[in-house]
Amino acid sequence: MARLLNRRPGRLAAMHLAVAPFLLIVLAYVAGSAVRLAENPNDKLLPAPASFVETAQRMAFEADKRSGDYLLWSDTAASLERLGLGLAAGVAIGLVLGIAIGLLPYVTAALRALVAVVSVVPPLALLPILFIVFGLGETGKVVLIIVGIAPFLVRDVALRVGEIPNEQLIKAQTLGASTWQIVTRVVLPQILPRLVDAVRLSLGPAWLFLIASEAIAATDGLGYRIFLVRRYLAMDVIIPYVAWITLLAYTMDLGLRSLSRRAFPWAVTGDSRS
């Protein structure tokens, strides 16, 4: 008998195994919901799956009576805009500061300690400050996402830059490269694949900070909606919204992963687990 760690499922078996946990969760929900609804037809905690479809249809395809918006789409647009702005700014900061800290000794000396300290400040603790400074508008929410992910990105990029063998930097200099040319032609292209990985890891925190700030102060957005209907125990809205957020986040992760595979053919990753 082979050791457990040497036994591998076939392709088909692997697929079944992957689907099984999802099926189990759905089954558990359906069963639980049926039991509770049999006891009390008005139970709000585990509404019947059919009600999700109904609610989702209403949120997505019927204009809201008060605002005239299709709520699911307007919420999604508002949230994705905040998320996109926060991620873009976070990545820009991560790249610029990370490369500078990783490559230029003067910048390392000046900023490394600062970044290390800033990165342990819990961003949510800063949320009140951000709302006081930037007001309750969009800026505060976007800044929260930036504060939440930029320190990690800066440190990760700096670390990756530091991992580039010194030989390459010397070699580039013997070929006549300036600092700027080394940044643009040697360092930047080599850390881009790592950056994509780092952004993938940042997606989770970015969504967390987005939902948190929308929950506290917003008039639209996916997080706002969830926390709004929570007052009415509207699980039939909350659960489809959570599923929708999950789908969005998962799609982004998948997109970044395939981008990284296609855009950087020279990077032999070879790790199928990530």
Partner 1 sequence: MSLISVRNVWKTYGDDVVLERLNLEVERHEFCSIVGASGCGKTTFLRMLLSQERPSRGEILLDGEPMDEEPNPDRGVVFQRYSVFPHLTVQDNVIVGLEFQQSRLLGRLFGAARRRAVEQAEEMIEAVGLTRARAAYPASLSGGMQQRLAIAQALMRRPKILLLDEPFGALDPGTRAAMHELILRLWRSTGMTIFLVTHDLSEGFQLGTRLLVFDKVRVDPDAPGAYGARVTYDLRLKQRPFDAPGDTVPDPADDGVAATAAVPLANAQAAPA
Q: Judged by CB, which is closer to partner 1: 60, or 159?
A: 159
Q: Which residues bind partner 1 (CB under 8 A)?
A: 165, 167-168, 170-178, 180-181, 184-186, 189-190, 264-268
Is residue 188 within 8 A of residue 99, CB to CB? The reply is yes
At closest approach, how far in Å is the CB of 174 from partner 1? 5
| Distance in angstroms (rounded) separating the CA atoms of residues 23 and 11 | 19
Q: Which is nearer to partner 1, 74 or 181 (CB)?
A: 181
Shortest distance in whole angstroms from residue 173 CB to partner 1:
4
User: Which residues, 6+ apart, have CB-to-CB distance to 108 below 8 Å?
Assistant: 101, 102, 158
Smallest distance from partner 1 to CB 178, Å: 7
Q: Supply the DSSP string of 56-121, one letter for each residue.
A: HHHHHHS--TTT-S-HHHHHHHHHHHHHHHHHHHHHHHHHHHHHHHHH-HHHHHHHHHHHHHHTTS
Residue 186 C-beta: closest distance to partner 1, Å: 6
Considering the complex, what minimum distance in angstroms separates the CB of residue 192 from partner 1?
9
The one-letter amino acid code at 236 reads: D
Is 10 or 176 the residue whose CB approaches partner 1 more closely? 176
Please answer whether residues 193 and 156 qualify as being in contact, where contact means their C-beta atoms are separated by less than 8 angstroms. no
70: left (phi over 0), alpha (psi -120 to 50) or beta: beta
| The residue to which tokens 């490394």 are assigned | 112
Comparison of 22 and 106: residue with beta carbon closer to partner 1: 106
Q: Which two tokens stand for residue 208?
A: 């967390």
Q: What minimum distance in Å lies between the beta carbon of 271 and partner 1?
A: 15
| Cα 261 from Cα 95, distance rounded (Å) | 20
Which residue, 106 or 180, is less far from partner 1 as judged by CB? 180
Provide, rounded to whole angstroms, the least separation between the CB of residue 190 and partner 1.
Answer: 5
Q: Considering beta carbons, is residue 124 or 169 the nearer one to partner 1?
A: 169
Neighbours of 5 (CB within 10 A): 6
E-assigned strands of the chain? none
Rank residues 16 and 171 by Cβ distance to partner 1 and give the closer one: 171
**Residue that has been written with the tokens 């359906």 in this structure:** 30
